[in-house]
Amino acid sequence: MDNQNNRLLYTEKLTRDFGKLRAVDRLSFSLEPGEIRGLIGPNGSGKTTFINLLTGIYKPTSGEVYFHGKRIDRLSPEEITHQGIMRTFQIARVFGDMTVLENMLIPAFTQGTSKREAVRRAKELLDFSLLGRLSSEPARNLSGGQGMLLQIVRGFMRQPLGLYLLDEPFAGVHPAIKDVMIETIQKMNREEGVTFLIVSHELTIVRRLCSRISVLHGGRLISEGTMKEVANDPQVIDSYLGG
């Protein structure tokens, strides 16, 4: 069992019901600082609901969420962000009427960063992620993949960023942009110590990026370990093949 002090984030019997449907079922889960964790599971297994519970979009029916030892499940989404947790959405949700650069400035502004400093970091991140030449474009003009990439790099504007939750970041994205995303995630993990929880169906990328994988099925955590370990777990095989 993990030492409580070593855990960046943990949940205790986290549950969320939608009417008679139990989307997340007494889920106890934990993340250690600095890791890149993959979260996989069949469709409808509760992955996105879990992310929504961690970020305050949904309130749990029961159970608790702790970040840096502080209970956060009663906080609003913006209060959770101010604790150092950011997230992305399954579809690229950028501020379409604002330029790429303006999109980047918002998370920095909300934590009181000066415009000068925010613009400097935004340009650095945009250049690294090859979005620099598009910084004056309205974000609605970006392709789906570029929008997803902007969504990811926008989150890095928050400093320090303790935990980044990426919900299906690679779905439908051009391979070249996927490579940029992977590089960016690895760089931020290595250089700034950002912890990631990545929900993805792209097992090849999950294998490449994540040291440990957690598997959800029916709102429950059914397996955890390296990719090799979970791939050989009969419960996991059964959940993917047997439903």
Q: What are the residues binding other proteins (CB under 8 A)? A: 55, 57, 76-78, 81-82, 86-87, 89, 93-99, 102, 105-107, 109-111, 115, 136-138, 141, 154, 158
Element spanning 107, H or E: helix 100-110
CB of 39 to other proteins, least distance (A): 18
CB of 105 to other proteins, least distance (A): 6
* Comparison of 89 and 202: residue with beta carbon closer to other proteins: 89
CB of 76 to other proteins, least distance (A): 7
Q: What is the DSSP string of 159-218?
A: SS--EEEEESTTTT--HHHHHHHHHHHHHHHHHH--EEEEE-S-HHHHHHH-SEEEEEET
* Comparison of 11 and 151: residue with beta carbon closer to other proteins: 151
- Cis geometry, peptide bond prior to residue 138 (ω within 30 degrees of 0): no
* Comparison of 56 and 60: residue with beta carbon closer to other proteins: 56
Q: Cβ(69)–Cβ(113) under 8 Å?
A: no
Residue-wise over 129-159: b if at least 16 C-beta within 10 A, else e?
A: bbbeebbeebbeebeebbbbbbbbbbbbbbe
* Comparison of 103 and 223: residue with beta carbon closer to other proteins: 103
Amino acid at 127: D
CB of 233 to other proteins, least distance (A): 33
Whole-angstrom distance, CA of residue 221 vs CA of residue 14: 11
* Comparison of 101 and 185: residue with beta carbon closer to other proteins: 101
Whole-angstrom distance, CA of residue 92 vs CA of residue 103: 12
CB of 232 to other proteins, least distance (A): 37
* Comparison of 86 and 205: residue with beta carbon closer to other proteins: 86
List, in sequence order, every residue forming a beta bridge with 17; answer none if it has no partner: 22
CB of 204 to other proteins, least distance (A): 28
